Structure 1
């Protein structure tokens, strides 16, 4: 099960660079309530076909603002934008940059409001604490020392100051929620037992771990939002980071964790989304799907069966037997050598004979007995899980990388999942309610803020 969301600072900070974090199992898609009979804007009495006076365009302005007296500069915007572009592998179309820049501005406004609210509540996050978190992020998520990470960020067009400000905002907000929200969220034992009973009743049914990008829309904005959603889908299919786009564009509460809905059953989703997700395989994307209140883009991270052991969690002991080709090797020569290699592998008598037989044909052997099947590429997972001890996969590789096979030397099957404990389930339910309250809290801060745009 995933760790408590309020204490996962390091993981959540790394999301901006494309790292996926997980959230509560059983979280649902964030879909706005259905409009009332009088229409969503009935209290405002907005005419159906308003006449716009003047040429003011809120989407055509310089990306700077003053939030309750605190300035967000153009440099702040550009440095944070550089992080997002890097997380997407730099594969963002020029016409998307301006739209992304405005979303970054909105995120920085929220971040500023969160820091200001924490300060007003006498919650202070010191520079030393921010630096310690930055150092851990450098080591754990980038495999770099802090000084090297600083140079790397500068090379991207960003800075360590930009990432540290995000860290400070997240630490301050989490601490504020622990003080002002979490103590007032209660989950009864009866609710937990009821949820656990439901989980047991669903044993054997499929669960999906989905990512969602939700864009709100009404009848007036439907066409434009649909077009924007389609552009996001196209960018992700070209190699953009789903997590980065979810964090910047999604209007669901899961945006902060890269759109991750956690493990859910399709019945928990609106009919439109459950139908769209039913045919997905891990790694596939679908959308935009129109639902009440807007459009959703779904990404299937993984799927499993409830309270049932997943064969992909089997721990495998493998030997990789491989040959390489000299640089001048032609395609025909490589094909002939690979065929000879495949024949020799078939003659090997299990893992005990592999090292000696490999040496005789000029192959190398690398052993590893702690590999989870799910950590291997999809096609290899299916192949290996069907092998008996001592059997090998078909040869795979290329002239550049060489040709190799994997020999199965052992397999420890996973135990049947018992599901979350009572305490884990209660923690998950509490986290979900805290995050719903947090969304309302932030909405109130936006409503009361004094914001000047330049």
Structure 2
């Protein structure tokens, strides 16, 4: 989760793993289910290879999620779905800590305390203040430190037991660079992902959880990465679900199709993929190895007129119309000061704005402006009416191929994280988990 995440390389967990044999199950086409299965009908206590996860553990971790993400405590079915998701995460966390200890990897108390202190610092609190805040929220210092231990133990296990056995050949790197060169001009996507594993028994419930999560994301109270850090079961969880820049060709077909149809800022899902479902968020898109006009840096002058308290609608409209008319008389940035003085406008200079950092509506306008021209007025009577005058533009350079080292590092990260997910699947399969 965000407040205790340990930095890790990013790779989508939805990439199909062709190296893992698929089970050839002999399942009849017309089958009858004997008995009922409701994944919610489970008491919130589990024993994982003799390690107990109590109902209190689940409740305190739920409270930690709510506290860290500044959310409202859900009720009814939504709360039960969240508890079930948290229980699954606690089981995975327990398996990871157990596997690390089996390999003589132990995270010491001073290391956990040091990470806890950094978390407190990010909340602008002392460790003692964070202790009190967690207790007031219904969580505990112990719950957060347990999560920190799990993250540190698993990352240390991967560095010691997985990374040394991942080898990248020079020919692989060259082949990727050749493909990048050949794909110049095609689109690539900056995506974030939340991956939730599912099987036949849990599929409907997981899809319902995903839909509820999308509804919360679309409310806009917290960014996508908050939810990814807490709920995603991919190794990208530690970096807010960030997949980086990827081309459609390297994504699973289901995700590629969705990404190609999305607009920047959209959320798509739940998308059914092998092994579970994904929710994806399109942060940005661009063309491979091609200069993006939205990366141009602009030199701007911003003119603002403000309305004194008590200004009525007629007065505001009259002044805004005068401002609009004055903007038509601007002849380059040298005339801005005179025009501003004539209508009582404030002027602010900014020489470091990228087009892509502007709101989409303004960005589209700026792409079409010539030097010396202004945008139409925008704003509101309460916050003031503004206009931007374009004084200069530094266009971006054409994209360059990444270095061989960059490609090798990316491949290394991808393979380590893919093997990490394979290992976690094996641990789940071999674990003895009892629900009480």
Q: Which TM-score tier does this pair reach, normalised by the shorter chain? A: 0.7 to 0.9
297, 321, 329: which one pairs with 2:303? 321
Moved more, 396-405 or 188-197: 396-405
Matched, 1:197 2:178: yes
Unaligned runs of 5+ in 2: none
Deviations 1:161-206 (CA, angstroms, capped at 9, x unpaired): 5444333322221111111110011011111111111111101101
Contact 1:289 1:295 in 2 (8 A): yes
The answer for the alignment partner of 2:154 in structure 1 is 173
Q: Using the alignment, how far apart are the partners of 2:262 and 2:298 within structure 1?
A: 27
Q: Using the alignment, how far apart are the partners of 2:4 and 2:377 within structure 1?
A: 36
The answer for the alignment partner of 1:263 in structure 2 is 245
Q: 1:393 and 1:428, CA in 2 relative to 1: closer, same or farther beyond 3 A?
A: same
Matched, 1:401 2:369: no
- Number of aligned residue pairs: 433
Q: 1:446 and 1:227, CA in 2 relative to 1: closer, same or farther beyond 3 A?
A: closer
The answer for the alignment partner of 1:30 in structure 2 is 15
63, 82, 98: which one pairs with 1:100? 82
Q: 1:435 and 1:380, CA in 2 relative to 1: closer, same or farther beyond 3 A?
A: same
Contact 2:289 2:399 in 1 (8 A): yes
The answer for the alignment partner of 1:276 in structure 2 is 258
Q: 1:241 and 1:13, CA in 2 relative to 1: closer, same or farther beyond 3 A?
A: closer
Matched, 1:365 2:347: yes
Q: Using the alignment, how far apart are the partners of 1:78 and 1:418 within structure 2?
A: 50
282, 286, 302: which one pairs with 1:300? 282
355, 367, 379: which one pairs with 1:385? 367
Matched, 1:114 2:96: yes
Q: Using the alignment, how far apart are the partners of 2:14 and 2:398 within structure 1?
A: 28
Q: Using the alignment, how far apart are the partners of 2:198 and 2:432 within structure 1?
A: 25
Contact 2:4 2:119 in 1 (8 A): no
Aligned to 1:263, what secondary structure does the other structure show?
A: strand
Contact 1:29 1:261 in 2 (8 A): no
Q: Using the alignment, how far apart are the partners of 1:339 and 1:195 within structure 2?
A: 56
288, 305, 319: which one pairs with 1:337? 319
Matched, 1:350 2:337: no
Unaligned runs of 5+ in 1: 1-11
Alignment RMSD: 3.7
Q: Using the alignment, how far apart are the partners of 1:138 and 1:369 within structure 2?
A: 36
Aligned to 1:278, what secondary structure does the other structure show?
A: helix
The answer for the alignment partner of 1:82 in structure 2 is 63
Q: Using the alignment, how far apart are the partners of 1:69 and 1:46 within structure 2?
A: 39
Q: Using the alignment, how far apart are the partners of 2:306 and 2:135 within structure 1?
A: 39
Q: Using the alignment, how far apart are the partners of 1:126 and 1:314 within structure 2?
A: 48
Contact 1:288 1:296 in 2 (8 A): yes
The answer for the alignment partner of 1:6 in structure 2 is none
